[in-house]
Structure 1
Amino acid sequence: MTDHQDVSLDWMSAAGEDRPSADLRPEIPHPARMYDYYLGGKDNFPADRAAAEQVLALSPLVRLSAMANRAFLQRAVRHLAEAGVGRFLDIGTGIPTAGNTHETAQAVLPDARVAYLDNDPIVLVHSRALLAGASRGTVTVSRADLRDPAAILADPDVRALLDAGEPVALLLFAVLHFVDGADDPYGTVKQLVDALPPGSYLALSHATGDFADPAEAAKGPAVYRSATAQLSMRTKDEVLRFFDGLELLEPGLVTAPQWRPDRAADPTDAEIGIWAGVGRKA
């Protein structure tokens, strides 16, 4: 990447093998579009809205959790940019909305470099449309699967971030709960963190059923079984394992609204079903 005023779309290979499918499969609920619906977005279809409403009927806090997760992303990215981190690797980006990673980072560091990766062609279609305009720094979009860390680390845009030896922020917001135990999520995160230069960071958020009645908590993943990705809720201790070997920044692993809030606390903050934290690699 040499001309950073135009967004790179290297995920669209010349051979077309990575070109997103034109079939959006609107009849099948899609987690990214359901999440968009929770946030009040318009990039969703009736099947997405119906499935999302099933989840919301089980727990109205799901919408609050989605909004809290987005706000946590913005606070964490802003904090890291203010700390001088100018390279961000955002995996499982989802459908981009206002206040996304590159907008937040570049508001602090105009030349910040951001590499977005997602395995979903539907997400990439939306990303291409959103990122078609000018960007003050480097923004790239690639198709990659979190469950294949070796392929992620071999991606040219990812290598461009890592090879400079400068600290990189690895962002895994609301994506690890779509990786089940059979796909070794802990080994995946460790492989990615091991590849980061010293002084880098891991920032993640993860859905949990810790604050729900066990019977009710089991119903959420059941709804997602009809969607294009499954949901694996994890406890606080299970989420903490992702930070093994890292120094957790204050206030540690907390619910998303409680991580360095920029507003007064709300009674529901401690019950939002999203664990959130940022860890630093020595």
Structure 2
Amino acid sequence: MTDRPSWAPEQIDMERPSVARVYDYYLGGSHNFDSDREFAAEVLRVLPEMSRVAQDNRAFLRRAVRFACHSGVDQFIDLGSGIPTVGNVHEVAGSILPRATVVYVDHDPVAVAHSREILQDEPDAVALSGDLTAPGEVLDDPVLRSRIDFSRPVCILFVSVLHFVGDEWDPAGVVAGFAGPTVPGSLVALSHASTDGGRAAVDAQAVYNRDRSPNPMRMRTRAEIEALFGTLELVEPGVVRIPLWRPDTDAASTDDVDRYPGYAGVARRR
């Protein structure tokens, strides 16, 4: 048996991979177990660029947060936040708006425990345990309510998480459930894996849907992903391949954009 590291809560099963820890491994992090690394290796065999896609998602997260801050939004709810790495929401937002408030929400106990550890000296950021498929329960959390002022605009982040919400959970309804209580000027940012990326993306989805998977995956087409925003108004450039959403430089691109396995977009509540 692998020794349990000090950051791993006693109640977690180290033999079963988790979405948050597998993603941490893709990003080059150290908060993952053998089971997570073995699962990630299966995905990387069929989709070798998965680590780059994870990095692209993080880069999109940072660009979306900067966009929100420059739009005057200083409150963030990061759903399915995972294990914080360098350049996460509170760091990016705080570098622009020093008193920006961030609430991280995840259902993985390692993600929540580690987030709380690194945020203990961050007065404007907090981590909660919560299930994003239950928007009402998350939004009614007293800690969240004490941090987020819903009379002012909020940015809701769904970065690389809604492809783990099956159709039976009504992902568009989930987005609407979080966006509904917000005021005009609020933003929703999301990125999502897509089968538009070709055979490799389909094969990666199949790995996630096997037994002992950390979570079933439901990749979606561009049209399906755009529909998740509902009646919210997309900001330019709309729903595009992840690296192409307001890239930091004109040189930002992919080797084969038509095969890139994911989309991103940001929308505003009017």
TM, length-normalised to structure 1: 0.87
Contact 2:75 2:153 in 1 (8 A): yes
CA contact (8 A) 2:232 2:268 kept: yes
SS at match of 1:261: coil
> What secondary structure, in the 3-state scheme, does the structure 2 residue paired with 1:93 have?
coil
Report the counterpart of residue 3 of structure 2 in structure 1. none
- Determine the structure 1 residue equivalent to 2:113: 125
In the alignment, the residues of structure 2 paired with residue 237 and residue 160 of structure 1 have an alpha-carbon distance, to the nearest angstrom, of: 37
Shift of 1:35: 0.9
Please give the secondary structure, in 2, of the residue aligned with 1:42.
Answer: coil
The yes-or-no answer on 1:156 pairing with 2:142 is yes
If the length of structure 2 is used for normalisation, what is the TM-score? 0.91
Distance 2:116 2:64 in 1: 24
Cα offset, 1:158, TM superposition: 2.9
- Provide the rounded CA distance (Å) in 2 between the counterparts of 1:198 and 1:185: 21
Note the C-alpha offset of 1:210.
Answer: 0.6
- 8 A contact 1:257–1:269 mirrored in 2: no
The amino acid of 1:262's aligned partner reads D
Give deviations 1:25-73, integer Å, cap 9, x for gaps: 2211211111111111111112111111111110112111101000000
1:273 paired with 2:261, answer yes
Residue 206 (structure 2) pairs with residue 222 (structure 1): yes
The answer to whether the Cα contact below 8 Å between 1:39 and 1:67 also exists between their aligned partners in 2 is: yes
Secondary structure of the corresponding residue to residue 207 of structure 2: helix
* CA–CA separation in structure 2 for the residues paired with 1:177 and 1:74: 20
Q: Which runs of 5+ in 1 are unaligned?
A: 1-19
In the alignment, which residue of structure 2 is the partner of 1:197?
Answer: 183
Q: What pairs with 1:69-108 in structure 2 (closer than 5 Å)?
A: 69-108=57-96
Instruction: State the alpha-carbon separation in 1 of the partners of residues 256 and 61 from structure 2.
Output: 16
Matched, 1:143 2:119: no
The aligned counterpart of 1:244 is 230
Kindly tell me: are residues 163 and 80 of structure 1, through their superposed partners in 2, closer, same or farther at Cα, counting changes over 3 Å?
A: closer
Superposed displacement of residue 272, structure 1: 2.8
Query: Is 1:62–1:273's contact at 8 Å kept on the other side of the alignment?
Result: no
Within 1, Cα distance between the matches of 2:201 and 2:124? 40
Contact 1:64 1:272 in 2 (8 A): no
CA-based RMSD of the aligned residues comes to 1.7
- Is 1:22 aligned with 2:6? no
User: 2: CA distance between counterparts of 1:174 and 1:71?
Assistant: 12
> Structure 1 stretches (4+) deviating beyond 3 angstroms?
160-164
Say whether the 8 Å CA contact 2:62–2:87 is kept in structure 1: yes
Confirm or deny: 8 A CA contact 1:162 1:197 kept in the other structure. no
State the Cα distance separating 1:217 from its structure 2 match: 3.4
Aligned residues: 259
Contact 2:172–2:230 under 8 Å retained in 1: no
Aligned-pair identity in percent equals 44
The answer on whether the counterparts of 1:202 and 1:278 sit within 8 Å (CA) in structure 2 is: yes
Question: Of the candidates 49, 53, 61, which is equivalent to residue 41 of structure 2?
Answer: 53
Amino acid in the other structure paired with 2:168: A
- Structure 2 distance, partners of 1:269, 1:121, is 37
Counterpart position of 2:171: 185
Return closer, same or farther for 1:69/1:269 CA change in 2, 3 Å cut-off.
farther
Aligned equivalent of 2:5: none
Counterpart of 2:47 in structure 1: which amino acid? S
Deviation at 1:240, TM superposition (A): 0.4
- Deviation track 1:243-266 (CA, whole Å, cap 9, x = no partner) reads 121111111101111011113133
